[in-house]
Structure 1
Amino acid sequence: MVEPQCSPRFSIVVPIYNEEDTIPELYRRVSAVLDMLDGPSELILVNDGSRDRSLALMRELHERDRRVCYLSLARNFGHQIAVTAGMNLARGEAVVVMDADLQDPPELILDLVEQWRLGYHVVYAQRVRRQQEGWLKRLFAFGYYRVLRSLADVDIPTDTGDYCLMDRSVVRVLNAMPERNRYIRGLRAWVGFRQTAVPFERDPRYAGPVKYTFRKSLRLAINGLVSFSTVPLRLSTYLGLMAAAIALIMAVLVIYWRFFEVNSPLTGFAAIAVAVFFIGAVQLICIGILGEYIARIYEETRGRPLYILSEVGGFETLTEPNL
């Protein structure tokens, strides 16, 4: 058994959701990295409502290695909330956030730490290649990150996920933010401080099915756009002006056809139907955009906790989360 160490210098936060096939290999590779770090470390595993043996494996790892801490959420609150919970309880001077599927190679932590020692407060891993991912997913990711960067109010680096190292000063600021719709990579960019990138090739998933389906990825993408840009709201205005311009043009054309092209096939019911359907579509799009922002206002005003803990292990001196 590896004995516990006081005042960890490094914290590794890993959200877990149904990763029983990956956890043993994850621990093997991360623990090897922890052994090479120049200071006491902790590995924080966050169980996000897993239905398999993930939580049982976390308990076993904690009993075997006291550097392993774990917390279990009362239900599945989502990836970003699980990351937030781990950051709230992390005690290290430097906090690393990574996924459990081993697409984020744990060995890269050493490079992140090296940049942190050079004085950077945020060191994010930037993907230069995605192995064994379909062309459609790569195309979607490529386009999304560039659209987000062009529309966002802050400079969010392209091709970056949540895999990063953050200094305690940055984590303290993020933990103090009351936002409920968390988009960690956006908040990380918003806080500022000295930031730099470490390029890497993203590995294929080690085992098990993909947890971030296209639907979840799309939801996260919309959350990022709405959380860090008001352009969609302006888009509603632009669509309304465009619809008004098209309606004015249609009115002029109808008058022209009425007097000069009496037998034109574009007059009558067809032209009116097209105009009605177009304006109706514009109205629904605008209502949907407004709904996204109103939903976030509603979420922020309800005042519910971000998450609920059902079990905690390895934080013996901790009385309550650092919210």
Structure 2
Amino acid sequence: MTLIPAPSGLPLKLTVVVAAFNEAQALPLLHPRIQAALALVDGLQGRVLYVDDGSSDDTWSVLQALAAADSRVSLLRLSRNFGKEVALTAGLDQVSEGAALILDADGQDPPELLPQFVQLWQQGFDNVHGTRIAREGEGWLKRVTAALFYRVIGRLSRTPIPADTGDFRLLSPRALAALRQLRERQRFMKGLFGWVGFRHVALPYRREPRMAGGSKFGFWKLWNFALDGVTGFSTAPLRVATYLGLATAGLAFAFAIWVVGKALLFGDRVAGWPTMMAVILLLGGVQLIALGLIGEYLGRLYEEAKQRPLYLVESWLPAGVAQGAEDEPA
């Protein structure tokens, strides 16, 4: 592939940010691909920042070995597992110069597309996001539910959230600066990327199968992730609950009028047990659904009110520091 020249003037700086949780098998396969991709842009001052999100396997040891062999690698280790969204935030917080390219540790998002991302950034785009045109190595149920989720949240949210688009993207320095101002605790990064705005463009690509290991996102985690996304960027569920409550109250009021009118005209015979149970269960079910939705939003307000830090850092190993050197405080 032809090398892409860097623009004249200031040097072109880019940090590849990779959040990893129990990816000891995949990381040694991914890093050479990142190195090769960085070499494709002539004059690029590239570095790689790995964030260990409290892994319980040998991920940190593997990362230390990568840092010892490559002076461009920086390492950040969180004090425990805070989740992918917070781990990404911790990594992006450390990017003080240039742009950042977010990459998954499993190798499904190809780092070989790095030159195309840089090219679009040089053309003036602040948010170059990879849009999946295929999801190889994933079951039909996950593909269908993912497609449905993106389309539902796209309709519910006023914030532009591109369909079939994950965290694989390049963010310009001013997009990163804007993102650092958003410190909410319940973080749905795809929504935050869209909220900051600026010029954005899609880069279509085919998502590859995992290189090694298994997915850390089961359907329960994906469900909670979707719930965070919807409640974090839309109040539509509360509005639906309001409309559902009004409709149910209207039906109940009409039914009450019918019961009273029937008793006045035809007398009050023995009330029907099925009718009474149906009404009680319907009203009780609607009320519980509405209370559950309100509880979800109140829970998020509770988390925000505590004002705890988003994450805590256990170890920070800047680029160029040898493996045996003492970790610097965060």
Q: For residues 253 and 320 of structure 1, do their structure 2 counterparts lie closer, same or farther at Cα, with a shift above 3 Å needed?
A: farther
Please identify runs of 4+ aligned residues in structure 1 that moved more than 4 A.
255-264, 315-321
Structure 2 counterpart of 1:277: 281
Q: What does 1:59-70 correspond to in 2, within 5 Å?
A: 59-70=64-75
1:87 aligns with 2:101: no
Q: How many residues align?
A: 313
- Tell me what 1:18 maps to: 22
Matches within 5 A, 1:165-176: 165-176=170-181
Identity %: 38
Q: d(CA) in 2 for partners of 1:46 and 1:256? A: 69
How many angstroms apart in 1 are the aligned matches of 2:198 and 2:328? 30
Instruction: Choose from 290, 293, 298 the match for 2:297.
Output: 293
TM-score (norm: length of structure 1): 0.91
Distance in 2 of aligned mates of 1:128 and 1:82: 26
Q: In the alignment, what sits opposite 1:153?
A: 158
CA separation in 2, counterparts of 1:68 and 1:36? 18
In the aligned structure 1, how far is the partner of 2:133 from the partner of 2:266?
61
Out of 96, 111, 115, the position equivalent to 1:110 is 115
Alignment equivalent of 1:201, drawn from 201, 206, 214: 206
CA contact (8 A) 1:8 1:91 kept: no
State the alpha-carbon separation in 2 of the partners of residues 172 and 247 from structure 1: 53
Secondary structure at 2:104 match in 1: coil
- RMSD between aligned residues: 2.1
Residue equivalent to 1:164: 169
The gaps in structure 2 that reach 5 residues or longer are 1-10, 322-326
TM-score, reference length from structure 2: 0.89
Superposition deviation, residue 52 in structure 1: 0.6
Partner in structure 2 of residue 232 of structure 1: 237
Q: Which amino acid aligns with 1:285?
A: I
Deviations 1:209-251 (A, max 9, x none): 1111111111111111111111111112111112112212432
Q: CA deviation at 1:35?
A: 1.6
Match of 2:224 in 1: 219
Separation of aligned partners in 1, 2:37 and 2:303: 39
Deviations along 1:275-303, one digit per CA (max 9) or x if unpaired, are 11111111111111111111111111111
Cα distance in 1 between the residues matched to 2:223 and 2:261: 45
In structure 1, how many angstroms separate the alpha carbons of the residues matched to 2:12 and 2:20? 21
Q: 1:296 to 1:315 in 2, by over 3 A?
A: farther
Q: Secondary structure at the match of 2:180?
A: helix
For residue 200 of structure 1, give the secondary structure of its aligned residue in structure 2. Answer: strand
What residue identity is the alignment partner of 1:243?
Answer: T
3-state secondary structure, aligned to 2:274: helix
- Structure 1 CA distance, aligned partners of 2:241 and 2:53? 36
Give the secondary structure class of the aligned counterpart of 1:98.
Answer: strand
Give per-residue Cα distances to partners, 1:72-104, cap 9 Å, x unaligned: 001000000000000000234110111111111
Structure 1 unpaired stretches of 5+: 1-6
Q: Which residue type is aligned with residue 176 of structure 2?
A: V
| Distance in 1 between residues matched to 2:170 and 2:211, nearest whole Å | 22
Amino acid at match of 2:313: L
The CA deviation string for residues 103-159 of structure 1, in whole angstroms up to 9 with x for no partner, is 111112221111111110100000111112211111111111011011102111111
Letter in 2 for 1:129: A
Instruction: Tell me the distance in 1 between the aligned counterparts of 2:180 and 2:319.
Output: 18
Residues in 1 aligned to 2:287 and 2:246: alpha-carbon distance in whole angstroms: 12
Q: Is the 8 A contact 1:62 1:314 kept in 2?
A: no
SS in 1 for 2:310: coil
